[in-house]
Copies of this chain bind each other. A is one copy, B any other.
């Protein structure tokens, strides 16, 4: 049981200064009034989480990831945001419910992949950037482990779809910008190892997977992985919420024909 005083808070993120005529917000050591107009949203996201402003290539790579993650049609969480609109709920509650719908299965697989990669490479990274042979060996071990657990490797394969156009495009940007590092390489080794284990049939890296490797190569903590899906998707939730609201549907529900009652009949 922690003995910390729970009424005292410490933070290194932000300082709000309000003294006499001076009003300023310091974010990670930078004055907000200097940042506004000079930095992009991606720059600020990087600064908030890493404590330093990114280089232009890093910022452009992050933008590519955020753009790729922003929208995927009336997928489960945007369906929920639209239902909330239909029931007369507020836009913030709709976005909150869409965000919270990302669970360990949906939207959370990138985090599992990122964590697994970090833990696998930690001992090797202590000795420098791991060469391809090491990555290949660890990739094969990951695939073998998943097979033993009769599980899939998180970050590969698209439910319902054959391939995903987003993952290769984001990796292209990383290559172009010079931000394609050890985790991107490791991700491709795992893709190759999966294909080897399946007699050559590939299971391509998906958006969860590319989010993990790009974020890690940009220096983010694996614990932040879900944010690169959540933040852009709030724009999707709001857009779907507003479209549904404009359609004035009043009460989205399942028609009786889609529901089969398989319980006890009237015992009366």
Binding site for B on A (CB under 8 A): 1-2, 4-16, 18, 21, 23-37, 39-45, 48-49, 51, 60, 63-64, 66-68, 70-76, 79-80, 82-84, 86-93, 95-97, 99-108, 157, 159-166, 169-170, 172-173, 176, 221, 223-224, 226-227, 230-232, 234-236, 238-240, 242-243, 245, 247-256, 258-268
Contacts and interface: CB of A to CB of B under 8 A. Distances in A.
Q: Sorted from nearest, which 8 A-B pairs have the closest CB atoms?
A: A88-B105, A29-B264, A12-B263, A89-B103, A96-B100, A88-B103, A96-B96, A87-B106
A44 B65 CA distance: 12
A13 B82 CA distance: 13
B7 A254 contact: yes
Given A25-B165, A44-B235, A48-B70, A101 B83 contact: yes
A141 to B, nearest CB: 24
B8 A260 contact: yes
Given A10-B247, A166-B32, A238-B227, A108 B83 contact: no
28 contacts: A7-B254, A7-B258, A13-B71, A14-B261, A15-B261, A21-B162, A23-B163, A36-B64, A36-B67, A37-B169, A41-B41, A41-B70, A45-B70, A48-B236, A73-B259, A76-B251, A76-B253, A80-B97, A84-B101, A87-B101, A87-B103, A87-B107, A90-B90, A92-B230, A93-B103, A96-B97, A99-B234, A227-B238
A207 to B, nearest CB: 10
Given A33-B165, A49-B235, 15 more contacts: A6-B86, A6-B252, A9-B259, A11-B260, A18-B160, A36-B173, A39-B63, A41-B232, A49-B238, A76-B252, A80-B83, A93-B96, A95-B96, A99-B234, A221-B242
Given A83-B76, A165-B25, A250-B105, A11 B259 contact: yes
Given A72-B14, A166-B33, A235 B239 contact: no
Contact of A73 (B11, B60, B221): B11
Contacts of A173: 36-37
A104 B10 CA distance: 24
Contact of A258 (B8, B13, B64, B72): B8
